[in-house]
Structure 1
């Protein structure tokens, strides 16, 4: 499998659990604000799933988070890594963009993942501009994946990185209506410093107050909503 990095200890990638994070290479989207894109293109290591797992310092980890890139582009290796992690007694979280839900459903069928974080980038008509991917496909995939997770008792978080220069509250309303069956919805602060496209480095970051107001909008549709700035996580109560 192709990977571009491993974090041995993270306290932010799996809620309420200390985790190790594996970053799998390749992505079928090109989000200009992605923190990982340049690392993914410059640092690619070919390893077996067993070698990846054995290269993690698991002294403090309770869970394994598999991120990217988009992990579902390497379905066989992803599945094998999940099998190894589950066999060793770890909870498994998958970060995905929702493009390959049959791969995700197969992992759910095998009881190989416990938590899914689904990135919902923007209003679906804006997907092509922001991600270079068809938003209508994502619009169709989301309800199917939400229902499948509910049916199989897999926790699903949906999350959006809010970019004020490209998005507004209408994006959040559209997304919230679409993902209203999720267990948690997170609105994240856009970080221009670590964007890989130069044009995004010039865009304005949202304030914490702006994120909170957007969180209140999402709360009209979704029970559990949090907003995350660089410095804090705020649970929206309304």
Structure 2
């Protein structure tokens, strides 16, 4: 049995990690890609319960890892709890092809170990400050894909999207970065297309090719 491709989703609290996960699930389903979810947090399964209640995925395909300590360690220093959860899902669902692993709310320095994920996304929030790209946090610099979310809030908080775009290009030359409003779906097609290609998630015959989901982010 082939191992599922493991995709990490990290980022600060409130940046839109769970919203991104919820937006991606219907797209994976439409593409015929068998998917499951693991959430991470301190001593709660709140995010897992939210995803289970969403109706977007079979609740049995959503597991929660409660670290009891800094959630960053479970995606970086000691990913054993997450790896056990992945193995549990693979055993329960033999056709599983993608496991989305959401980190607990973290800071700009949090990273995923390559022992846990094959590809990882880092989500930041324009409303948290347009100086984030200039701070060059490790998560933002090293992620395979950077998602700059909540572009709709930029005018309300005085964030300069033009400057953010320039700073992101300087900080991540040659690495994909996409500006999104996940609430409305702006930029989501580009995220999905980039993710499917970058993580080498094949689309089964008879389903839309990744390019079908591509569009330019605003």
Quick check: which one's strand share is greater?
1
- Higher RCO structure, 1 or 2 (CA under 8 Å, sep 6+): 2
Q: Verify same fold: TM over 0.5.
A: no
- TM-score, length-normalised on structure 2? 0.44
- TM-score, length-normalised on structure 1? 0.41
